Structure 1
C-alpha cells in the first residue's frame, strides 16, 4: 500500500505546525521551503486541513496557520483517511470498475481487506502528539527556532 504525496505532505504540515513554539504561527512559504513543496499545492492541503477542523488559518500580513486542536486530539488514522480519496488496493475493491472474473471465488481480496483494516487500526492508535516525542530534534531538522 502506498499513500499519496498529498497525504504525506498533509502529515508534514501538521508536524511542522505542531512543532512551532507556543503562540507562533506557521507560514505556507516557510513550510514550502523546508519540504520543497510547491506553495500552490501546499495551499490546497492547508485548505483541506482547515475544512476538516485540524488547522486554523489567520489571514492578513501577520497571518499564518496554527493547529485548531491540541496535538493529543488529532488522530493520525483520521488524518490519513480524510486525505486519501480511496483505499482500493485492487480492482475488486471498487464494485463500479471491477471486471475481474475470479472475484466471486477469490480469497485475495479478503486477505488484503484484512491487511488494510489492520493498517488503519494501527494508525488509529496514534495522535499527532505521539509524532512529536522528539520535538527538539524535529525543530532542528526543520530549522525552527
Structure 2
C-alpha cells in the first residue's frame, strides 16, 4: 500500500499546524518545513480547509491554523478524504475497471478486508497522538528565520518522512 503525495502532505501540514497550535502559520513556512512546493501545499490546504480541518485565510495577514483541536482530528478521516478519488486497484474503480476476472476474483475481497483493517487502525489515531510530547517534531518544525522561509521558492530541505 502506498499513500498519495497529497495525503502525505496533508498529514505533514496538519502536524505542522498542531505543533504551532493557536498560531497563524504562513503557507511558505509550512511548505518549507514539509519539503513541498507552495503550489502543491496550496491545493492540499484548500482541501483541508473545505473539509473543516483548518482555517485558511488569504492575503498579507493570512495564514493557516487548525479549525478544531488536534484531539478532534481523526487520521483515518483525513486519509479517506484524500484517498477517495484513487481506487486501490483497478477493480475498485466503477468507471475504469477493465479486469475480466472481477466477477470471479477472490483477491479483491481479501484486499477490501485488508483496506478495512488499515482504516480501522487509522481511525484509532488522532492528530494529537502524532504530535503530543513529540519533541523531535517540535524541533524539526521550529521556525527560526521566518524571513528566509518566506523568501524560499520551493523545497529547501530533504524529506523528513
TM-score of the pair, normalised by structure 2: 0.82
Unaligned runs of 5+ in 2: 145-161
Higher relative contact order (CA 8 A, sep 6+): 2
Q: In structure 1, what is the Cα distance between the partners aligned to 2:57 and 2:103?
A: 52
Partner of 1:106 in structure 2?
105
Question: Secondary structure, in 3 states, of the residue corresponding to 1:129?
Answer: helix
Partner of 2:31 in structure 1?
32
State the shift of 1:87 in Å: 4.9
Question: Secondary structure, in 3 states, of the residue corresponding to 1:66?
Answer: strand
State the shift of 1:143 in Å: 2.2
Partner of 1:51 in structure 2?
50
Farther off after superposition, 64-73 or 79-88: 79-88
Farther off after superposition, 111-120 or 91-100: 91-100
Q: Cα distance 1:41–1:105, how it changes in 2: closer, same or farther (>3 A)?
A: same
Structure 1 residue ranges, 4+ long, deviating more than 3 angstroms after superposition? none
Q: In structure 1, what is the Cα distance between the partners aligned to 2:17 and 2:31?
A: 12
**2:127 maps to 1:128:** yes
Partner of 2:9 in structure 1?
9
Partner of 2:77 in structure 1?
78
Query: What RMSD over aligned residues (CA atoms) do the two structures have, in Å?
Result: 1.7
State the shift of 1:137 in Å: 1.9
Unaligned runs of 5+ in 1: none
TM-score of the pair, normalised by structure 1: 0.90
- Report if the CA contact (8 A) 1:19-1:135 is conserved: no
Q: Tell me how many residue pairs correspond in the alignment.
A: 144
State the shift of 1:113 in Å: 0.5
Partner of 1:88 in structure 2?
87
Q: In structure 2, what is the Cα distance between the partners aligned to 1:14 and 1:139?
A: 13
CA deviations over 1:19-70 (Å, ceiling 9, x no partner): 01x5321111111111221101111111110110110123443321110001
